[in-house]
Structure 1
């Protein structure tokens, strides 16, 4: 986005884009699915723990979004990103400490769950996830600049998030939950993957070797198709193996969204001004597929 575009665009829209309301589904869906698997296997759920976990996860995602803008401002990669909270406020330090406040609130909520259970496992898992989340953009790691962001995203929002959610309800582990975590982890990383298509030039200028920079947008569009297909393949494997209830095939109702996303990227992968909206299609796919999977387990 050019400086001129950022001037003429209403400030309210820029703030809405900076806050990223749809992105908070990446906090809600893993906790919801992990808890749904627990319910399917135990026929019980602690709503106090579920509610506390959801609010804590939302706070942690707020920290992640704000801190990513803060650390990107340090490298200059967001110089043309009008919806960066740092660019909007002009106060990097304020955003840094606001992000840390959200992190503190989130960890406090998770620690409360561990205190209720007299078991540190959940807070340990979440702390590991937060560390990996920091390593994505934070110094001295900045692993996202080496193209490792999607791997980190898959681990944090897949196995770690669902394991924490499942354990918070059962204080045990589950193979079915692990398989479900791969579905959610991949669908979450697809959002991040799609966010790279329109910013190849800015990434190159900042020395960020995102997967799209490394492989190019054309190959990236093909990889997106296979990654998206794997969500449904893994779900089918779960049902065929008996790990998932048959009702989880409801996830296939989200298939039209998957087709729309992959076709859109295939057509506009090399046109930054058009393909930039594909990440919002990816968010819709993530939310719909995750919600349908959770409903399948609850049923």
Structure 2
């Protein structure tokens, strides 16, 4: 890996010029972590109320913008701190490999935050201004994840913070703005989603373990070591799937939610690739499989709730 130059890296990662530079900057494989919670929260709300699609669209777009902006802050601050190089895997690479100005990346991130704030104002006008306080806190943590003097991403708490805000908080808000209420069952259902979002960050940190260690980070993957981190990732996967089974047994989720098991091949693939891979490039597919697990699992979970809503209408 260290002997590969910029062109070798770009070729290995199939990085192309043109519009794809800006697409990579968004880190599209992470954006499903914004879509899935909004979708699930809204589907849960559909069991109680008819869906307000303008509110759903505003919440979805705002969540995606905040996730994309967080990715850009990551790109910018890792570059400023000298952590990203031409050989870095798993980044957008727009600064270190494509020559995009760091100020441009930072400006785009702030612009995305600005649009998200405007969407948040619309949501607050239609519902309650308490959403503004929760949204402001979430955006602050999105910035502080890699920004500020003590970035959360460099600590053992990155997975927990990301899972809580991107999973539980977004599902809760998405449900609340549709129903103007909140129930304990919604918080329960948010847990497997939060766990899998945390798993995406853990997978990222397993892949980057050696480089992060050299750069002074102290992620949970570094604390556990590669083997221990892979075992922990496995525990997270088991917890996510098991919780769905428990919720089905308790009547919190419909029997249809068992379709989340269709995501298992991606889950198993992630663990297998991490066990066999040694370099960040070799472990890249495991990161992809983990993100796909979250996408497929979350989408199917939301679909199962929609099925529960529609089936009585067809009887």
TM range (shorter): over 0.9
- Separation (CA, whole Å) in 2 of partners of 1:296 and 1:197: 32
Give the alignment partner of residue 58 of structure 1, picking from 38, 61, 64: 64
Contact 1:197 1:276 in 2 (8 A): no
- Counterpart in the other structure of 1:122: 131
Give the alignment partner of residue 134 of structure 1, picking from 121, 134, 143: 143
- Counterpart in the other structure of 2:6: 6
- Separation (CA, whole Å) in 2 of partners of 1:198 and 1:14: 22
- Separation (CA, whole Å) in 2 of partners of 1:266 and 1:205: 21
Give the alignment partner of residue 110 of structure 2, picking from 100, 104, 107: 100
- Separation (CA, whole Å) in 2 of partners of 1:275 and 1:96: 29
Question: What does the per-residue CA deviation read over 1:212-270, in whole Å, with 9 as the maximum and x for residues that have no partner?
Answer: 111111111111111101111111111111111222222122122222222222332x4
Contact 1:66 1:85 in 2 (8 A): no
- Separation (CA, whole Å) in 1 of partners of 2:209 and 2:158: 15
Residue 285 of structure 2 is aligned to residue 277 of structure 1: yes
TM-score normalised over the length of structure 1: 0.92
Question: Offset at 1:112?
Answer: 0.5
TM-score normalised over the length of structure 2: 0.88
Relative to total residues, which structure has the larger helix share, 1 or 2? Answer: 1
For structure 1, which runs of at least 5 residues remain unmatched after alignment?
none
Question: Offset at 1:84?
Answer: 2.6
- Counterpart in the other structure of 1:44: 50
For structure 2, which runs of at least 5 residues remain unmatched after alignment?
308-315
Give the alignment partner of residue 256 of structure 2, picking from 244, 247, 251: 247
- Counterpart in the other structure of 1:182: 191
CA RMSD of aligned residues (A): 1.9
- Counterpart in the other structure of 1:221: 230
Residue 41 of structure 2 is aligned to residue 31 of structure 1: no
Contact 1:126 1:160 in 2 (8 A): no
Change (3 A) 1:83 1:22: closer
Contact 1:235 1:248 in 2 (8 A): yes
Change (3 A) 1:3 1:134: farther
Residue 177 of structure 2 is aligned to residue 171 of structure 1: no
Total equivalences in the alignment = 296
Contact 2:21 2:94 in 1 (8 A): no
Question: Offset at 1:57?
Answer: 1.3
Contact 1:122 1:167 in 2 (8 A): no
- Counterpart in the other structure of 2:28: 21
Contact 1:56 1:110 in 2 (8 A): yes
Contact 2:41 2:175 in 1 (8 A): yes
Change (3 A) 1:179 1:220: same
Report the 3-state secondary structure (helix = DSSP H, G, I; strand = E; otherwise coil) of the residue aligned with 1:277: helix
